[in-house]
Amino acid sequence: ALEKSEFFLSEISFLGYIVTVEGLKPDPRKVAAVREAPALATLTQVGAFLGLASYYRRFIRSFACLAKPMTNLLKKEEQLIWTPECEAAFQALKEALTSTPVLARPDPTRQFALHTDWQPQAISTVLTQQGTDGREHVIQYASKTLSQMQSNYEACKSECLAVVWGVQHFRPYLYGQKFALVMNHHPLLSLRNNTDYTGTLGRWTVRLQDYDFDIRHRATRQHGNAVGLTRLQPPSKSPANEKLISWTPISPSTEPDYGEVNVLRKGTAAIKDRDLP
């Protein structure tokens, strides 16, 4: 219909990309979960973000050098001060994670993989696909903070919530073709075999029957992309020895410093006293 048409646009959103006269660029909505990550306030968040970035370090030029100001914070002898160098590294790594070659265009002829994770404050999912180079590339990131009621779910139910939400969120990519569901929660490996359709888990099992997928378990230490994204959310509580201190420059004093003068005066007086008979 003509009323739904738009003409003479310099750019349009199409299939997850912004099409411009210069070419394609990622739609900001695809990478919002990383780009809009809150300022890091605890060591746990620093470790989580570095875990996410490290998962894709093979695509990030000079990763170790770029991340060094942040990795230094994890050393026991370091002060927990968030310096301008830390902030610069944080922003640079976010930029790297949300642009090519980490981010790739979806290829409907290749199998997708959906990585999910849960933490009490949030759930996250990362849609990936193996590229022609044989390496795993991100198609899109997504995360969602949980309500108070959802935060009180038991672990198995919460991990299942992450799966259901992730599958529904990426339905346009996943519906009608087989994909891999990757998680770090071992009890959910039997999800497809559940025949008890009562209660919340039962209803979610029925909902997932519309999709064709294989479940793969992966240890948490190897699940850095989804786990890192989930733990970027600020925790409700954190130990005092984990909190970062914001760096503030020391402004030069406008007051005159008479300290040296006083020392000289005292020294002069002492010399004169010694010279006295």
Residue 261 lies in a domain: no
Q: What is the CATH number of the domain that holds 147?
A: 3.10.20.370
Residue 12 lies in a domain: no
Total tally of structural domains belonging to the chain: 1
For 170-197, how does the pLDDT look when each residue is reduced to its tens digit (9 = 90+)? 999 999 999 999 988 776 766 767 777 7
Report the C-alpha gap between 164 and 171 in whole angstroms.
10
Residue 31 lies in a domain: no
Q: Is the pLDDT of residue 277 over 80?
A: no
Q: What value does the mean pLDDT take over residues 138-165?
A: 87
Residue 68 lies in a domain: no
Residue 173 lies in a domain: yes
Give backbone dihedrals phi and psi of 138, rounded to 5 degrees, phi first.
Answer: -80, 135
* CA dihedral for 273, 274, 276, 277, sign (positive or negative): positive
Residue 11 lies in a domain: no
pLDDT of residue 22: 58
* CA dihedral for 48, 49, 52, 57, sign (positive or negative): negative
Residue 194 lies in a domain: yes
Q: Pick from 74, 33, 29: which is nearest to 50 by CA?
A: 74
For 32-70, how does the pLDDT look when each residue is reduced to its tens digit (9 = 90+)? 878 888 788 888 889 888 888 888 887 787 788 888 899
Read off the pTM: 0.62
Pairing of strands 213-217, 245-246: unpaired
For 7-40, how does the pLDDT look when each residue is reduced to its tens digit (9 = 90+)? 888 888 776 667 776 555 667 776 787 888 878 8
Residues above pLDDT 90, as percent of the chain: 18
Highest mean pLDDT among 95-104, 215-224, 255-264: 95-104
For 234-274, how does the pLDDT look when each residue is reduced to its tens digit (9 = 90+)? 666 666 667 877 766 555 555 555 555 455 455 554 444 44
The residue range of the domain holding 200 is 112-220
Q: How many CB atoms sit inside 10 A of residue 152's CB?
A: 11
Residue 156 lies in a domain: yes
